[in-house]
Amino acid sequence: MYYEPGNLPHRLKHDPFKSCVVPRPIGWISTLDEDGNHNLAPYSQFQNVTFNPPIVMFAANQDSTGRRKDTVRNAEKTGEFVWNMATWELREAVNISAQELPPNVDEFELAGLEKTPSKLVKPMRVKQSPIQLPFWPYRPLLILVMILLQAALHSQFALQIFPNMLSPTVMSGNLATD
């Protein structure tokens, strides 16, 4: 089966592209705006880019009015953000923090999450999150941004695409201690 995003009706219940690139770790991006308002929003379009130096990227669509989301504006203006791992146990808080809210609403408080200070950046970390990674900009890196033209799917996966059906080979980190 072939489909072109936005061009051909694919007759599937959901857009399969979201299931074709796996895993997509969901994490919260915490930022601070120029007025001191805390922002916390979940993103599944987060990934490491290189390991030496350790560089990541996250991507966000626009909000429902077509504007850049608070997280993106804050990260662009301040140059800082913290990625906080979202676990299964924190899924309800993730859903609460996913709402589109005005910039002055504190998603930490709304979702019942505790803030903890970062050591090297100003945005707060999610205390309940088992891993928090602070970041600031790194410019000398070339990133190609491309748009998907077409997807080719084997017919056995065309009706329902789930990562466990595909059994993709994934690289998983090792947090072993000596």
pLDDT digits (tens, 9 = 90+) for 15-45: 667 666 667 778 899 999 999 999 999 988 8
Per domain, the residue ranges of the chain are 23-144
**pLDDT > 50? residue 176:** no
Q: Domain spanning 23-144 has what CATH number?
A: 2.30.110.10
116 has a pLDDT exceeding 70 = yes
Lowest-confidence range among 18-22, 103-107, 112-116?
18-22
Q: What is the mean pLDDT of residues 138-142?
A: 65
First to last CA, the chain: 49
Counting Cα atoms < 13 Å in the Cβ hemisphere of 61 gives: 6
In the structure encoding, which two tokens stand for residue 3, read together?
Answer: 């489909």
CB 10 within 8 A of CB 2: no
